[in-house]
Structure 1
Amino acid sequence: MPALEQARRPTGYPMRMNYRHAFHAGNHADVLKHLTVLALCDALTAKPTPIFALDTHAGRGLYALDSNSAQRTGEAQGGIGRLVAEAPADPLVQRYLQAVRACRNEHGAAAYPGSPWLLAHALREQDRIAACELHPEEAGQLKANFAREPRVAVHERDGYAAMKAMLPPRIGAVKFARGLVLVDPPYEAQLDEFDAIIGGLRDGLTRWPQGIFAVWYPIKLRRALQPFFRRAATLPAKSSLVAELMVREDDSPLRMNGSGMLVVNPPWQLDQQLKPALAKVANVLAETAGASARVEWLKTER
């Protein structure tokens, strides 16, 4: 089955060298991230003009939940495993589960789609995807997974550098006015990763102001994220939305208790899609009474 990242990054940017998403595929963080990605894709494809999607930290794009890596942590059982078993009646949740079923029909009962697979599944013939992975082994697996998919270009390179090189997007004679940049780093540098994220977003918005930028972040202690939110609110965009899914209380700095998505330039009514979906997901995936979901505007148009 299909893989992550390594290469040259500008001075001051954290490197991603050792992380393997295969250990965490299908966990509660993936559920939040992939629900959001599909909602964004569906909003973008509602209009006929072509779309460009850049996945800055793509991983291998496809995972086997019966692999030794996934079995060692068992995280998928508390994420996609529970959600498949209970399948709450919400349109966005059902959309996500349908995509997972489509992946399993194609790749086997233990398959789980990474974000590049979901992008390729949700976008159209006229759309284009660039998937960046820095780790050589993971990048090689990513290339193998999409070798027969002409819409997906795989780049073994640093994702933040790719934001500088690929935005605004143009492929041949086609200029892409609309699209998505997904930033999903491994946070090996812990909170220092936010410096790279804010720098990348500020530069990316300058180059492609109409693009949608979606950033995944882990939550251990939510109060530790306040400096990130304050800086994100100063980015050159009219609106930004925060969506979070907690499976436990955010009271431990030693474990990931939940995660969030920062969406800059969110499409219309994204918040109304995410709120009911995440409320139901939080109820299904809860590990303690402190589980919760939050969808709030960080910044809104005036």
Structure 2
Amino acid sequence: MNYRHIFHAGNPADVMKHAVLALILDHLRAKPAPFCVLDTHAGIGRYDLTSEQARKTAESDDGIGRLWGRPAPHPGLTPYLDAVQALNPDGSLRWYPGSPRIARAALRPQDRMVLVELHPDDAHSLKAEFTGDRAVSVHQSDAYTALKAHLPPKEKRGLVLIDPPFEQPDEFARMAEGLALAHRRWSTGIFALWYPIKERAAVWRFQDAVEKTGIPKVLIAELTWHPEDTHLRLNGSGLLIVNPPWKLDETLRSMLPALHDTLPSTGGGASVSWLTPEA
């Protein structure tokens, strides 16, 4: 539990992940029925990009910093950029919304959100961030235990975001096992699993493990900004999405290349493909 996201908030991986998250939430809002969001690795909710920790790495400069104050390079990025703007109404970029704030911006009165965070200090900060918000509940718990405790939700519609810090060497295997369990409990839910792209073989093993579960309708979306010639750096990031919204794949096939062209890179690119089609 040593990982602290403040050092990486708003970097290219965050931009890609949160832009897709905002699109999924926008789809859920299109129908009047209530939905629930379960975020299993919630962090602290918002991040101060002017803090000493954030400026130590300055990773946001090559992420949200390349989008802030400019026209959106693709209309699919608008829901995400609107959520960032909502935290920075004075026009200067200070606060970066983590996934809880991205999701909270999308909730309507009939919707709710369950946030799970294991790190005690971060869980305390998260509770303070949403004090008095009746639409949000915060739990200090292990992510994979939370999948058992909170699924299926009473709303029948919604999203589960699984976004680990990848501190554990077996995190890919834990994700695949957690998804299999969660899907058995709630087969109609949308699941979005984020992963880093460092060593391609590890990604292939993870995708193969998910494919072997037999879960249908699994979409893979990836954005890389470096050639994959070394596993000593973060070359890109991916999302494995179960039950993606209708036509999300089409939107991502044009949005992710536009995002790649906007962010600094030494290579890489965008890809969208089906791991398993609809049964």
TM class, shorter-length: over 0.9
Deviations 1:170-202 (A, max 9, x none): xxxxx2111100000000013x10111111101
Measured in 1, the distance between the counterparts of 2:2 and 2:73 equals: 38
Other-structure match for 2:106 = 122
Measured in 2, the distance between the counterparts of 1:83 and 1:193 equals: 31
Distance verdict in 2 for CA 1:142–1:198, change over 3 Å: same
Other-structure match for 1:3 = none
Pair 1:202-2:186 in alignment: no
Deviations 1:117-144 (A, max 9, x none): 1111012111110000111111110001
Contact kept, 8 Å, 2:68 with 2:93, in 1: the verdict is no
Measured in 2, the distance between the counterparts of 1:228 and 1:294 equals: 17
Measured in 1, the distance between the counterparts of 2:186 and 2:79 equals: 29
Contact kept, 8 Å, 2:73 with 2:259, in 1: the verdict is no
TM-score between both structures, scaled by the size of structure 2:
0.96
Deviations 1:184-234 (A, max 9, x none): 0000013x1011111110110000110111000000132331111111112
Distance verdict in 2 for CA 1:108–1:150, change over 3 Å: farther
Measured in 1, the distance between the counterparts of 2:2 and 2:92 equals: 27
Distance verdict in 2 for CA 1:107–1:23, change over 3 Å: farther
| CA-based RMSD | 1.5
Match of 1:219 among 189, 197, 214: 197
Which structure 1 segments of 5+ residues have no match? 1-16, 170-174
Aligned-residue offset at 1:88: 3.7
Aligned-residue offset at 1:37: 0.7
> What is the aligned length?
279
Match of 2:18 among 25, 34, 37: 34
* Residues 215-294 of structure 1 mapped to structure 2, 5 A cutoff: 215-288=193-266, 290-294=267-271
TM-score between both structures, scaled by the size of structure 1:
0.89
Aligned-residue offset at 1:89: 3.3
Pair 1:189-2:168 in alignment: yes
Contact kept, 8 Å, 1:56 with 1:133, in 2: the verdict is yes
Distance verdict in 2 for CA 1:264–1:185, change over 3 Å: same
Distance verdict in 2 for CA 1:195–1:107, change over 3 Å: farther
Q: What stretches of structure 1 move > 3 A for 4+ residues in a row?
A: 85-89, 106-109
* Residues 103-114 of structure 1 mapped to structure 2, 5 A cutoff: 103-105=87-89, 109-114=93-98
Other-structure match for 2:59 = 75
Deviations 1:57-80 (A, max 9, x none): 000010000011110001000000
For 1:256, give the aligned amino acid: L
Contact kept, 8 Å, 1:82 with 1:284, in 2: the verdict is yes
Contact kept, 8 Å, 1:127 with 1:151, in 2: the verdict is yes
Contact kept, 8 Å, 1:55 with 1:130, in 2: the verdict is yes
For 1:93, give the aligned amino acid: L
Other-structure match for 1:153 = 137
Pair 1:164-2:148 in alignment: yes
Aligned-residue offset at 1:107: 11
Which structure 2 segments of 5+ residues have no match? none
Match of 2:155 among 173, 176, 197: 176
For 1:292, give the aligned amino acid: G
Deviates more, 1:117-126 or 1:100-109: 100-109
Measured in 1, the distance between the counterparts of 2:114 and 2:66 equals: 31
Deviations 1:138-158 (A, max 9, x none): 111000111132101011111
- Identical positions, percent: 48
* Residues 130-145 of structure 1 mapped to structure 2, 5 A cutoff: 130-145=114-129
